[in-house]
């Protein structure tokens, strides 16, 4: 009797424990999915009208006040330098004599600082015979466009980044080489060093201390390789690559000196093919691969804010990279990676992919959705970090990681 009662009590306890775990599992799953939906509802997405729908990568940067710069397309096919504030578009003035080049672009903005000064380039008729186009670096300040001084002997020049002090970096180029250059606050150009034997160099970002980052590269029939670099003054420093990678570029640097970019594996034996792409961060000069999104093997880091939050996109495999198929919007923050599709999907029902291009210090992200009608630019304002973390958990459940989420209940 005592033994039978003990067995009955043990069986009942096990049954109640099992039912309790099952109930907790259900509660957790529904709570996660509900929180994910709530976070999506709290996210704000502002479409950017007339953003260039034919080409991806037409949006370039967003500053701390939410001003976005990029290319806008008109009904006539012209692609104009523009900026958006709260979703409202303004076309930047064209320099006198600047034509529309063969690709429909007369000028293009590339970066904007927190004072609202925009830099980029503009096309001009070729200085020599041939009927082509040259390019010149341009600064737009309070609606006024002006060209930057360039060193003699270069047909093509463009500005690529500006810091809040007004120091600008860019490139001067002619046939066969590209020289990095820095313009001081007075507008004086100074050429920067390149890695020995590398023919091109491109600064891509510059922080408040004047340290610039980008890449040095070799483009030829036999080789197509990049190295991530940083410039202190005029001197260039090559950034080390993670083990197993032989190519790469730095795309952003913040004021504490953290650098993000991308590490690549290049296999010239495979018909000059890149076979691996991974988002990378350099802290104190040491490289580390940013964590991959579950089920996505390739990733790109595009922008970073002062807090160190990084945005970019991921692909399932190398074939998806080469065909630009279904890029997934990614946020790296606090050592974790989050899929932001749950925040964007309600606003772009027919989107097949997303690219996040830049993030400011207020959590506003500039990006593009690949829709059936072409590319659509947007600004995503993310909810609180805790809500984004919950979205990440929700994405894990949606991607089949329920067992890991529920493991603590077993």
Sheet holding 310-315, edge to edge: 298-304, 310-315, 328-333, 336-339
Q: What is the pTM of this model?
A: 0.83
Over residues 136-153, mean pLDDT: 91
pLDDT tier at 398, thresholds 50, 70, 90: very low
For residue 283, is pLDDT > 50? yes
Instruction: Give the whole-angstrom CA distance, residue 106 versus residue 121.
Output: 9
Over residues 248-256, mean pLDDT: 97
pLDDT tier at 159, thresholds 50, 70, 90: very high
Q: What is the chain's mean pLDDT, rounded?
A: 82
CB 166, CB 200: distance < 8 Å? no
Query: Which run of H or E residues covers position 262?
Result: strand 259-267
Q: State pLDDT tens for residues 327-355.
A: 999 999 989 999 999 999 999 988 999 99
For residue 45, is pLDDT > 90? yes
Instruction: Give the whole-angstrom CA distance, residue 391 versus residue 241.
Output: 32
Q: State pLDDT tens for residues 90-140.
A: 989 887 766 655 555 678 899 999 999 999 998 876 666 555 678 899 999
**Residue holding tokens 């809500």?**
387
For residue 36, is pLDDT > 90? no
Q: State pLDDT tens for residues 373-397.
A: 889 999 999 876 545 554 444 343 3
Q: Which residues are CB-neighbours of 296 under 8 A, at least 6 positions away? A: 314, 315, 316, 328
Instruction: Give the whole-angstrom CA distance, residue 233 versus residue 190.
Output: 10
Instruction: Give the whole-angstrom CA distance, residue 343 versus residue 381.
Output: 10
CB 184, CB 167: distance < 8 Å? yes
Residue 351: C-alpha distances to residues 51, 274, 374 (Å) = 15, 27, 9
Residue 151: CB atoms within 10 Å: 12
What is the total count of domains within the chain? 1
**Domain residue limits at 176:** 2-409
Residue 153 belongs to domain with CATH number = 2.120.10.30
State the pLDDT at residue 37: 44
Q: State pLDDT tens for residues 19-28.
A: 444 433 433 3
Q: H helices then E strands: how many in the chain?
A: 5, 28
List beta partners, residue 139. 119, 146
């Amino acid at each position: 009797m005592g033994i039978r009662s003990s067995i009955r009590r043990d069986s009942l306890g096990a049954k109640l424990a099992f039912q309790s775990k099952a109930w907790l599992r259900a509660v957790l799953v529904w709570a996660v999915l509900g929180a994910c939906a709530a976070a999506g509802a709290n996210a704000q997405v502002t479409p950017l009208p007339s953003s260039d729908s034919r080409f991806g990568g037409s949006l370039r940067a967003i500053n701390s006040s939410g001003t976005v710069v990029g290319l806008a397309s008109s009904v006539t096919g012209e692609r104009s330098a523009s900026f958006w504030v709260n979703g409202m578009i303004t076309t930047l003035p064209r320099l006198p004599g600047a034509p529309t080049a063969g690709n429909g672009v007369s000028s293009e903005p590339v970066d904007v600082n927190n004072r609202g000064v925009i830099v980029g380039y503009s096309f001009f008729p070729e200085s020599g015979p041939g009927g082509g186009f040259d390019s010149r670096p341009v600064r737009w300040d309070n609606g006024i466009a002006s060209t930057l001084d360039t060193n003699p002997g270069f047909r093509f020049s463009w500005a690529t980044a500006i810091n809040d002090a007004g120091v600008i970096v860019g490139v001067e180029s002619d046939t066969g080489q590209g020289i990095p250059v820095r313009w001081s606050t007075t507008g004086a150009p100074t050429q920067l060093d390149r890695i020995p034997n590398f023919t091109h160099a491109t600064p891509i970002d510059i922080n408040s201390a004047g340290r610039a980052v980008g890449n040095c590269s070799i483009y030829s029939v036999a080789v197509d390789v990049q190295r991530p670099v940083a410039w202190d003054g005029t001197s260039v420093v090559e950034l080390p690559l993670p083990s197993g990678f032989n190519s790469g570029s730095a795309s952003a640097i913040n004021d504490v000196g953290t650098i993000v970019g991308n590490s690549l594996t290049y296999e010239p034996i495979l018909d000059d093919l890149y076979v691996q792409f991974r988002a990378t961060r350099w802290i104190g000069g040491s490289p580390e691969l940013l964590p991959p999104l579950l089920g996505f093997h390739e990733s790109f880091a595009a922008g970073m804010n002062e807090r160190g939050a990084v945005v970019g996109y991921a692909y399932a495999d190398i074939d998806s990279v080469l065909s630009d198929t279904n890029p997934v919007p990614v946020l790296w923050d606090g050592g974790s990676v989050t899929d932001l599709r749950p925040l964007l999907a309600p606003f772009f029902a027919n989107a097949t992919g997303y690219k996040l291009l830049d993030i400011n210090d207020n959590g506003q992200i500039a990006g593009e959705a690949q829709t059936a009608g072409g590319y659509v630019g947007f600004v995503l304002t993310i909810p609180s970090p805790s809500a984004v973390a919950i979205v990440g958990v929700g994405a894990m459940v949606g991607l089949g990681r329920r067992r890991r989420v529920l493991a603590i209940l077993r």
